[in-house]
Amino acid sequence: MATPPVGRYKIGPITEKDTVIEYAITPRNTVKSLQVGDAIQHLAPGSEDSSFLPDIREILPLIQDMPVYDDDVFIIAHAKTGTHWTWEIVNMLMKGSTDYEKMSKARRQLELHYPDEFTDMPRPRVFNSHLLLHHNPKQAIAKKCKVIVVQRNPKDTVVSLFYHMKASGSFDAETTFSEFLSAWLKLGEVGDWKNHFTVAENEEFDRIYNERMKDIKFTYKYTLKTVD
């Protein structure tokens, strides 16, 4: 896999046509994300001027139109759910060896590179992504490539994410876990998963939620959408 040219990655200017989500972790810390449809790219301070990440507005359609091989494998996982472990295990299984992969996981992460950078990657190729399944190459589904979806207990995920973001300087050292948890749970809207429940399933969900969350101080709201 070729090393990308210096300065190729850059997030372009944010305009009034773009959707930017801002949420306050504490009065001292505000996190910004750039949203394209239901794809989100978190913006680190000064990221617009850096060459660390490709622009999600540019890279997303390129990823979806990326040509793939029948033996490509795709690992889809939310951040801090075990992407790295799964990626190492899959590579070991594919190679029939317990040796760790020499190339870093980030060099095989779809949203961190332009598709042409994967052209000379040796097969079988194992990719990983924090994007949703429908953001990934359309050919992956059409060619019935192997797709591994990693899930983890949300409670464990948010703890790992808190310490990861704190270590990376996304917010200051005084930020408490309670502050982060409150912001994390309030971010965005409830996804379509609840809209696929039956009436009985929605009633059961509400009963369990109200029972187990009755002592939580913050208010969590969701809105059901009408599905034709």
> Catalytic residue positions?
130
The whole-angstrom separation of Cα 212 and Cα 24 is 26
Note whether 124 and 93 are within 8 A (CB): no
Query: Quick one: 141 exposed, middle or buried, by C-beta within 10 A (0-12, 13-18, 19+)?
Result: middle
**Residue 164 CA: distances (Å) to CA of 85, 124, 134, 170:** 16, 31, 26, 9
The whole-angstrom separation of Cα 212 and Cα 111 is 37
Note whether 150 and 82 are within 8 A (CB): yes
The whole-angstrom separation of Cα 59 and Cα 39 is 11
The whole-angstrom separation of Cα 55 and Cα 120 is 23
